[in-house]
Structure 1
């Protein structure tokens, strides 16, 4: 008896095909699109976009924003607010551009700066000792030479400098607010790079890293920057000496306050040990101040959740300036006519606070449901 040929994938009803592919990762869908005649019939699952001071991340974000097929599905934007070393402070990767003063800190055998080797080893050791990356030994067999690794890092730092000097990342964020109509969640993270070969977020920049690329952890935060670029064209901008403590965080809040016409209802800050710095600053009377921008976001009718995530080791419970200032900020918004949530998360499950703030029947509001989430 002649056996019937099983139906091809292309013969399946569209509804069944969508149900099957909805359970696949984007990587699998990309392979299927390359090997199947269905081609672009199968859509990628793009609900999140990434942004940082990197031209590749910006290019991918804008490409998605310009695609009517995918931009309507984006719900979250993650801004990688961590940075490589300042390119101005790096020894040129090109030997012809090096000066005699660079010789003392340069390893002539490995052909890269000594600090780069030292910090890269620290990054590698912190990743290896965790024992979470089962492919680490295989990746290390393909490790790049120190000279190649530093040259690649140096090029990334140069790209970063170009983006920062042109404010291309801030412009791209504004572009995203306009072109992603259903964008509802903004995450500012200084932990995107995670551990070596184990990033927290697989941004286009990180996915493009060469196999075996070993580099120092990207935990640098651009602090004390001049902030005039955020108020360009605004007559009520800050004084010349006004600076910002966090580029991505402050820029995102400023652009959200400036544009106004968006649907962002949840704002998340993921941070490491630098979080206890007073990123809201002290001078709350400064026009366009970061704290004022945060208050503007919280006061929006459709805003409902503010989440702060920090490392336990970097925050002494009950003593942090951020916690005190957030409580002061709540006092200014008690009159809100709806309920919203504030979550303060640490990596200690015994010290997570969830506040729900709502308006009381009287002229003044109050806090309620202050509970520990375990």
Structure 2
């Protein structure tokens, strides 16, 4: 390998992950000079480790110029009561329940990796535990988790992550996107979506409840969804502080993304009820945005008040300021099966949510994604007919059409939607029994729009895909792909 010219060595190592580049750089001085670590993404959370690494990259004259994305991890550690040795836990002792939940969640983690701590080590490192490796016991897990929680609260109390975020927005000259996420530890601790410096620093056998914030499917979801925003906004602390710092920032950051990985969660709909400080700040940053990905938790599945709040006009007013917008995605926490039995009168409230999107204010829009929506066919067709002529791609993820099936609606797309420019690429995704797995259709729809066979057939049981059409993909595993049917 050393006989190769430097230019070729640089090209080869540019395709390696950082983990391998670190090993290559240790080999000799020449490989160190031709193997450059890449830091296109940095992480921040109320964690000393994440703040330390962020500031180290910001102070490095070479690495700081590489950073294009800053991810704020809003998944906070919860407070658990320590399970003292020899202490008997009873289910009626409420103050002891958190510790029992800690144990149950740790057991669930192990069930995903073969039932043993060794499986957790193997999933994280790709190798079996070393013969002399000391695996962490339950008490060790609780003690480390407790320390992480205390450090987190200390940082929040002192606002250290807030000041670090403000500094970081100015420190990285190539920064293009700020991402706020609830999904850093998902699908689970054995396969985190975002391997932050903190997560990578954990001992391989560390077993802990994976934080999943923002009141998703569980944990008082319904109770929180009916309270005023001012009473619950601390659950979405990262949302508030990221918007505030972006508003205060002296430079223009062109992209803001809320990443929930299509999960049934998002920012609480209550912030849309009136002009909350967060909605005002969102309106301010919209003036600079070219890309915006929003995820809204629309509330209890028996009322879904969030759909009404989407249509209230406050969000539309804020989004109308995004006159530079080229890419827009709007996801809600609704599931089609939850709204299947609702009557027409209630459904009308839900389908009005399309009114929150001011297409007339976005002449430069190129891409649009709608995810987890309930629509009437006529409303959707009218909405799509207003798209700007430069639109190049459309995505519909788990869209429930109230009065028509996709087989019929695609025919309407073909005959009623006439685009001045070239036809936009259309993608449709429908969930399977495993929520993270969806059947995607892209090329099949393109062929249909050009005169090919409709990938859907009308069925009494709902949307039915023709055999041999569609590809199954997994939201948590980018490598997973198999033909449908």
- So what's the TM-score if we normalise by structure 1? 0.72
Runs in 1 of length 4+ with deviation above 4 angstroms? 102-106, 126-129, 136-143, 240-245, 309-312, 314-320, 345-351
State the partner residue of 1:293: 281
For residues 259 and 300 of structure 2, the distance between their equivalents in structure 1, rounded to whole angstroms, comes to 13
The 5-angstrom pairing of residues 14-29 of structure 1 reads 14-29=6-21
Equivalent position to 2:42, from 24, 44, 49: 49
Q: Per-residue deviation at 1:65?
A: 0.5
| 1:277 has 2:296 as partner | no
RMSD of aligned residue pairs (Cα, Å) = 4.2
For residues 77 and 166 of structure 2, the distance between their equivalents in structure 1, rounded to whole angstroms, comes to 23
Q: Per-residue deviation at 1:18?
A: 1.5
User: Does structure 2 retain, via aligned residues, the 8 Å contact 1:120–1:216?
Assistant: yes
Per-residue Cα deviation, 1:239-293 (whole angstroms, up to 9, x for no partner)? x99954411111000000012x223211111234442622625341x5xx00111
173-182 vs 274-283, greater mean Cα deviation: 274-283
The secondary structure found in structure 2 opposite 1:78 is strand
Per-residue Cα deviation, 1:319-339 (whole angstroms, up to 9, x for no partner)? 461684377323455365544
State the partner residue of 1:321: 306
Gaps of 5+ in 2: 92-97, 216-229, 338-353, 364-384, 397-426, 429-485
For residues 60 and 346 of structure 1, the distance between their equivalents in structure 2, rounded to whole angstroms, comes to 33
Identify if the C-alpha distance between structure 1 residues 150 and 334 changes in structure 2 by more than 3 Å, giving closer, same or farther.
closer
State the partner residue of 2:184: 192
The secondary structure found in structure 2 opposite 1:368 is coil
- The aligned length equals 323
Higher relative contact order structure (alpha carbons within 8 Å, sequence separation ≥ 6): 1
Gaps of 5+ in 1: 1-7, 107-111, 223-239
Identify if the C-alpha distance between structure 1 residues 336 and 220 changes in structure 2 by more than 3 Å, giving closer, same or farther.
closer
Identify if the C-alpha distance between structure 1 residues 139 and 318 changes in structure 2 by more than 3 Å, giving closer, same or farther.
farther
For residues 128 and 189 of structure 2, the distance between their equivalents in structure 1, rounded to whole angstroms, comes to 11
| 1:268 has 2:268 as partner | no
For residues 332 and 233 of structure 2, the distance between their equivalents in structure 1, rounded to whole angstroms, comes to 28
User: Does structure 1 retain, via aligned residues, the 8 Å contact 2:290–2:322?
Assistant: no
State the partner residue of 1:246: 236
Identify if the C-alpha distance between structure 1 residues 20 and 263 changes in structure 2 by more than 3 Å, giving closer, same or farther.
farther
User: Does structure 2 retain, via aligned residues, the 8 Å contact 1:246–1:279?
Assistant: no
Equivalent position to 1:159, from 147, 151, 164: 151
For residues 360 and 140 of structure 1, the distance between their equivalents in structure 2, rounded to whole angstroms, comes to 54
User: Does structure 1 retain, via aligned residues, the 8 Å contact 2:14–2:35?
Assistant: no
- So what's the TM-score if we normalise by structure 2? 0.57
| 1:91 has 2:82 as partner | yes
